[in-house]
Amino acid sequence: QPPEPSLLRFLVCPLSKRPLRYEEATNELINEELGIAYPIIDGIPNMVPEAARTTQKKPPAEGSKQP
């Protein structure tokens, strides 16, 4: 179940302190900047950094040479 919309406005990533985007398809809170997703269990976001998974879209590593 999705979290309360009123709650989502106040949630920020504990690592970057930036707002998170709710992804309905995966029921997760996404931090696009860091490329991580926090799971939502029974409508309660699990905001522990250890619980977050990395998303597919990873920013290119700094200094990496693109062919």
Mean pLDDT by 10 residues, the chain (67 residues): 81 94 94 95 92 76 56
pTM, rounded to two decimals: 0.76
Cβ atoms within 10 Å, residue 33: 13
Which CATH architecture group holds 5-54?
Single Sheet (2.20)
pLDDT value of position 43: 87
| pLDDT for residue 60 | 55
Res 9: pLDDT: 84
Where do the structural domains in the chain lie, given as residue ranges? Answer: 5-54
Instruction: Please report the pLDDT score of residue 59 as a whole number.
Output: 55
